[in-house]
């Protein structure tokens, strides 16, 4: 029997990077509801503080602790180090780091500019590396912790216009595997989440196109898009003690997208 306590995050210090909107916001709220002391980090400081202002953690005694918030640009390695060092110093440790931010420029390879390439790589790949490195340094020294980085179904399957985005999301999987191998001896787990199509600000342009929206909905086994809050369970599972022997892997939360071909159902099926 699985004890509810294995999923409990009470007493854990959790930094949610990208927590100002979308999936990150949903995860920040979910982590607080599960008992974690949450610090919301986002490039948009006002958004981070807005989310933090709406959530707090209840202690076993019933006392409610407000979430923390700060601005963080994950492209800036020294800033990431300073932010995580400050959390560890203020709270005595850093137990959970969840990194959700990414950007995309949908464009054929032959039309991609160098500036666009650099921009996507800087956020998705370099930013994820900065977070892994900064969190790993603290967690290996303290002897434990869990890091969850967001990849995508695009690490496995692609479509026209997804070259650089897909490249970065595949790179995140290999970063996670390597970090898991390097940090595991110190009791630090590192995993990735692979969402399918999720209703977030990043996907707003697609949702505005009815044909595009319906095509994506039809590709999953569940025949719909995911809500941002549906990424909370898989993410917090990896962050919690329920996943104490899970590391170096990617958990797909894609409604069956990568499990099926889905282009044609033969007659009589």
Active centre residues (catalytic) = 165
Q: Could you count the other beta carbons within 10 Å of the beta carbon of residue 244? A: 11
Evaluate whether 8 touches 34 at the Cβ level (below 8 Å). yes
Sign for the CA dihedral angle at 170, 222, 240, 36 comes to: positive
DSSP 24-52: HHHHHHHHHHTT-EEEEEESSHHHHHHHH
Evaluate whether 18 touches 44 at the Cβ level (below 8 Å). no
100 Cβ contact list (under 8 Å, min separation 6):
16, 17, 18, 19, 22, 23, 24, 27, 150
Q: Dihedral (C-alpha) 174, 175, 176, 181: value to the nearest 10 degrees?
A: 90
3-state class (DSSP) for residue 180: helix
37 Cβ contact list (under 8 Å, min separation 6):
11, 12, 13, 14, 57, 65, 67, 68, 91
Evaluate whether 148 touches 238 at the Cβ level (below 8 Å). yes
Q: In the block, which residue shows the tokens 């990896």?
A: 238
Strand 64-66 to strand 56-58: parallel, antiparallel, or no bridges (unpaired)?
antiparallel
């Amino acid at each position: 029997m699985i004890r509810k306590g294995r999923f409990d995050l009470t007493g854990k210090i959790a930094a949610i990077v990208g927590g100002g909107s979308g999936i990150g916001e949903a995860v920040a709220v979910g982590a607080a509801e599960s008992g974690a002391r949450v610090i919301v980090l986002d490039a948009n400081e006002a958004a981070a503080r807005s989310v933090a202002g709406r959530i707090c953690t209840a202690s076993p005694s019933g006392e409610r602790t407000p979430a923390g918030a700060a601005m963080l640009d994950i492209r800036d390695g020294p800033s990431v180090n300073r932010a995580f060092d400050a959390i560890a110093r203020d709270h005595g440790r850093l137990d959970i780091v969840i990194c959700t931010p990414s950007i995309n420029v949908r464009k054929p390879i032959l039309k991609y500019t160098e500036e666009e390439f650099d921009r996507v790589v800087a956020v998705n790949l370099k930013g994820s590396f900065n977070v892994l490195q900064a969190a790993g340094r603290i967690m290996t020294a303290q002897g434990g912790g869990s890091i969850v980085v967001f990849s995508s179904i695009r690490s496995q399957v692609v479509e026209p216009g997804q070259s650089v985005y897909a490249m970065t999301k595949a790179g995140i999987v290999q970063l996670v595997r390597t970090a898991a191998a390097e940090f595991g001896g110190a009791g630090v787990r590192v995993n990735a989440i692979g969402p399918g199509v999720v209703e977030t600000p990043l996907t707003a342009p697609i949702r505005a196109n009815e044909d595009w929206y319906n095509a994506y909905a039809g590709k999953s086994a569940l025949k719909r898009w995911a809500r941002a809050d549906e990424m909370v369970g898989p993410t917090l599972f990896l962050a919690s003690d329920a996943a104490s022997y899970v590391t170096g892997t990617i958990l797909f939360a894609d409604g069956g997208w990568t499990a099926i071909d889905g282009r044609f159902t033969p007659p009589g099926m």
